[in-house]
C-alpha cells in the first residue's frame, strides 16, 4: 500500500479524528488544508516545518507528503545557530507553520514563510509520489559537530509503520494518545503518521503530563521513560490508564522499577521498543507476546539483526555475548544528506547499519541493549543530544577555555547533560546554561555545570570522559 493512499483511508471520519493540544480536526479537513499548502509548496527542494504541537504542523507535514517534497521538521525551541544550520544544510526553500511564529523565523533566517490556515481547503490532485522519494530529512545529533540530516524514504516510513501496526495490533479501532515533540521519529512519524496510516484516532496532549494522559481515555499510549516515570509517580493518573490496551515506551531504556510500578498501577506491562532516526523502529516486544523488563524484544517484520565483536566477527545469540548491534531491512534510511563520509562510517561492506549500541541477543531472539559504544551520545528525557554540539556552544563563550560534556545518570531524565568547564575568566554555571539555551534547543542545555582547573586526558590529548563520570 502506498503511503498516501493509507493516509486518505481509514474507517470513516469524525470531527475530532485528530485532536492536538485541545484543537480538533477531521481527516477530510486535514487533507483539504494540506492540499492548499501542497499546491504552494509543490516543486520546492525541501519544506521546513516549524514543528510546534499544533494542527498547523500536522497539516504542513501532510502537505509535504502530498506534494512529494521532503519535509524538514525544525524544533520550535532551536536556537538561532542550530536552526540556521538545519535550514541551510537541508536546502529548504520554504518554512511552514503558524502565522506570526513562522513569519518571525523566516525574517530572521532569510527564508520564505508559508503560513498554514486550516480553514483553507484545496483538492490536491497530483498522483502518489514514487515510494523511493524522500519523505523526511530528520536532523539527528551525532557525537561530534552539528546535527546531520537523515534521509527517510516514503517506502521506509510505510514499511515501518506497517510492521509496528502488526507488532502492536494497532488498528482503526484504537485511540492513540501522546504528547511527544513533533520533530522526532517517535512523536511525528510514529505518533502522527502512524495514526493516519492505521486510521486510528489521535489525541496529542500538547505536553505529556500525567493528568493529560489520564484525561485522554485512549487505548494506545506512547511515552519516553521520563513521561512514564512521572506517570508512575502519580498514582491516580497511572490507575486511570487501566482502561487502555497498550502502553509503549521508547527513545531510551525504561528503568525496571518504572516498568514494575506501571504494571502494578495500570495493570499493563509496557511494550518496549528500540530504534534510531536512521533505522526507524527495528525491535519491539509484542502486544500478544512476552514483555520482559529491560528487553526490547524481537526484530519487527522485514528487519534482521546481528551482533559483531570488536574484531568484526559475528557473536552468538547466547544471551551473554556483548557486541555492536547491526541491522538491515527496508526501514533503513537512505543516508546522511550531503555527508557521504559520515554515511560510509555507519555502513558495513555488506550494507548493514552499525547502530553504535552494544547489545546481547538471547537464544530465543530477545534483545537487550547494554549501552552506547560511545559516551558522546546522551539520551535525556527522550531526546538524543550530541555532546560535541553542546561542547562547541560552550566554547563559543568568551570566558570558556575548554569544555567536556557527558550524560550522568538521572532518575527522571535517564541521563542529565553535565558540563565540565575550564573557565578563562569570571563565569558562573547559570550563565553558561543560559548561554547554551540561547543557541541550541532548550533541552540541550546543561543541567549541571562543574567548573574545573583541568580535564583528564590521555597521551593523545583526548578527554577521558569515563573518568569524569567516575569522579
**Stretch among 50-54, 333-337, 375-379, 459-463 having the lowest mean pLDDT:** 459-463
Helices (H), 208-300: 210-216, 225-232, 235-240, 256-266
The per-residue pLDDT of the chain, averaged, comes to: 92
- The total of other beta-carbon atoms located within 10 Å of residue 242's CB is 10
**Stretch among 125-134, 182-191, 316-325, 458-467 having the lowest mean pLDDT:** 458-467
Q: What is the pLDDT of residue 119?
A: 95
Task: Flag whether pLDDT at 408 surpasses 80.
Answer: yes
Which part of the chain is CATH 3.40.50.12780? 3-207
User: What are the beta bridge partners of residue 369?
Assistant: 359
Distance CA 403, CA 449 (A): 10
Determine whether 411 is exposed, middle or buried from the number of CB atoms within 10 Å of its CB (0-12, 13-18, 19+). exposed
Q: What is the pLDDT of residue 6?
A: 53
Q: Between 2.30.38.10, 3.40.50.2000, 2.40.50.140, 2.40.30.10, what CATH number should domain 270-372 receive?
A: 2.30.38.10
Where residue 376 falls among pLDDT bands split at 50, 70, 90? confident
Task: Return the CATH class of domain 3-207.
Answer: alpha beta
Q: What is the pLDDT of residue 1?
A: 47
Q: Mean pLDDT across the stretch 122-148? A: 86
**Stretch among 129-133, 166-170, 267-271 having the lowest mean pLDDT:** 129-133
Task: Flag whether pLDDT at 28 surpasses 80.
Answer: yes
Task: Flag whether pLDDT at 163 surpasses 90.
Answer: yes
Roughly what angle, to the nearest 10 degrees, separates helices 256-266 and 225-232?
A: 50
Pair 379, 415: CB distance under 8 Å: yes
Where residue 461 falls among pLDDT bands split at 50, 70, 90? low
Distance CA 356, CA 373 (A): 5
Task: Flag whether pLDDT at 8 surpasses 70.
Answer: no
Task: Flag whether pLDDT at 374 surpasses 70.
Answer: no
Q: What is the pLDDT of residue 373?
A: 67
Where residue 387 falls among pLDDT bands split at 50, 70, 90? confident
Which part of the chain is CATH 2.30.38.10? 270-372
Distance CA 369, CA 283 (A): 11
CATH number for the region 377-470 comes to: 3.30.300.30
3-state helix, strand, coil in the chain (%, to 5): 35, 25, 40
Q: Mean pLDDT across the stretch 400-409? A: 91
Q: What is the pLDDT of residue 460?
A: 46
Phi, psi dihedrals of residue 165, rounded to the nearest 5°: -60, -40
Q: What is the pLDDT of residue 9?
A: 47
Q: What is the pLDDT of residue 385?
A: 85
Determine whether 7 is exposed, middle or buried from the number of CB atoms within 10 Å of its CB (0-12, 13-18, 19+). buried
Interval 188-244: pLDDT, tens: 999 999 999 999 999 999 999 999 999 999 999 999 988 999 999 999 999 999 999
Which part of the chain is CATH 3.30.300.30? 377-470
Q: Which three cell numbers stand for residue 202?
A: 489521535
Task: Flag whether pLDDT at 59 surpasses 80.
Answer: yes
Amino acid at each position: 500500500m502506498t503511503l498516501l493512499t493509507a493516509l486518505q483511508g481509514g474507517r470513516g471520519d469524525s470531527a475530532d479524528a485528530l485532536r492536538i493540544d485541545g484543537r480538533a480536526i477531521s481527516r477530510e479537513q486535514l487533507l483539504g488544508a494540506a492540499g492548499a499548502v501542497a499546491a504552494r509548496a509543490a516543486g520546492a527542494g525541501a519544506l521546513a516545518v516549524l514543528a510546534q504541537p499544533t494542527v498547523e504542523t500536522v497539516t504542513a507535514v501532510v502537505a509535504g507528503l502530498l506534494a512529494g517534497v521532503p519535509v524538514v521538521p525544525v524544533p520550535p525551541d532551536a536556537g538561532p545557530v542550530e536552526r540556521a544550520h538545519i535550514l541551510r544544510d537541508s536546502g529548504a526553500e520554504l518554512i511552514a507553520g503558524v502565522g506570526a511564529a513562522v513569519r518571525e523565523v523566516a525574517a530572521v533566517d532569510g527564508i520564505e514563510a508559508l503560513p498554514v490556515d486550516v480553514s483553507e481547503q484545496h483538492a490536491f490532485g497530483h498522483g502518489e509520489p514514487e515510494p523511493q522519494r524522500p519523505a523526511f530529512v530528520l536532523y539527528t545529533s551525532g557525537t561530534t559537530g552539528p546535527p546531520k540530516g537523515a534521509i527517510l524514504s516514503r517506502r521506509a516510513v510505510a514499511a515501518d509503520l506497517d510492521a509496528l501496526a502488526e507488532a502492536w495490533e494497532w488498528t482503526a479501532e484504537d485511540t492513540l494518545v501522546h504528547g511527544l515533540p513533533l520533530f522526532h521519529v517517535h512523536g511525528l512519524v510514529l505518533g502522527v503518521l502512524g495514526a493516519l496510516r492505521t486510521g486510528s484516532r489521535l489525541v496529542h496532549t500538547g505536553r505529556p503530563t500525567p493528568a493529560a494522559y489520564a484525561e485522554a481515555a485512549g487505548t494506545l499510549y506512547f511515552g519516553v521513560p521520563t513521561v512514564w516515570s512521572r506517570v508512575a509517580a502519580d498514582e491516580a493518573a497511572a490507575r486511570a490508564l487501566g482502561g487502555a490496551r497498550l502502553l509503549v515506551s521508547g527513545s531510551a531504556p525504561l528503568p525496571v522499577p518504572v516498568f514494575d510500578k506501571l504494571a502494578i498501577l495500570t495493570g499493563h506491562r509496557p511494550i518496549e521498543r528500540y530504534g534510531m532516526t536512521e533505522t526507524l523502529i527495528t525491535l519491539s516486544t509484542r502486544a500478544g507476546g512476552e514483555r520482559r523488563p529491560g528487553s526490547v524484544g524481537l526484530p519487527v517484520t522485514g528487519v534482521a539483526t546481528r551482533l559483531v565483536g570488536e574484531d568484526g566477527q559475528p557473536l552468538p545469540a547466547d544471551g551473554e555475548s556483548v557486541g555492536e548491534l547491526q541491522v538491515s531491512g527496508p526501514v533503513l534510511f537512505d543516508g546522511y544528506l550531503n555527508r557521504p563520509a559520515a554515511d560510509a562510517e555507519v555502513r558495513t561492506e555488506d550494507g548493514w547499519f552499525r547502530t553504535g549500541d552494544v547489545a546481547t541477543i538471547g537464544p530465543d531472539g530477545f534483545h537487550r541493549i547494554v549501552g552506547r559504544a560511545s559516551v558522546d551520545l546522551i539520551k535525556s528525557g527522550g531526546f538524543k543530544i550530541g555532546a560535541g554540539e553542546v561542547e562547541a556552544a560552550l566554547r563559543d563563550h568568551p570566558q570558556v577555555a575548554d569544555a567536556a560534556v557527558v550524560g550522568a545518570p538521572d532518575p527522571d531524565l535517564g541521563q542529565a547533560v553535565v558540563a565540565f568547564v575550564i573557565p578563562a575568566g569570571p563565569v558562573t554555571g547559570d550563565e553558561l546554561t543560559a548561554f547554551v539555551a540561547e543557541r541550541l534547543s532548550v533541552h540541550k542545555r546543561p543541567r549541571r555545570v562543574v567548573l574545573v582547573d583541568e580535564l583528564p586526558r590521555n597521551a593523545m590529548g583526548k578527554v577521558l570522559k569515563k573518568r569524569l563520570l567516575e569522579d
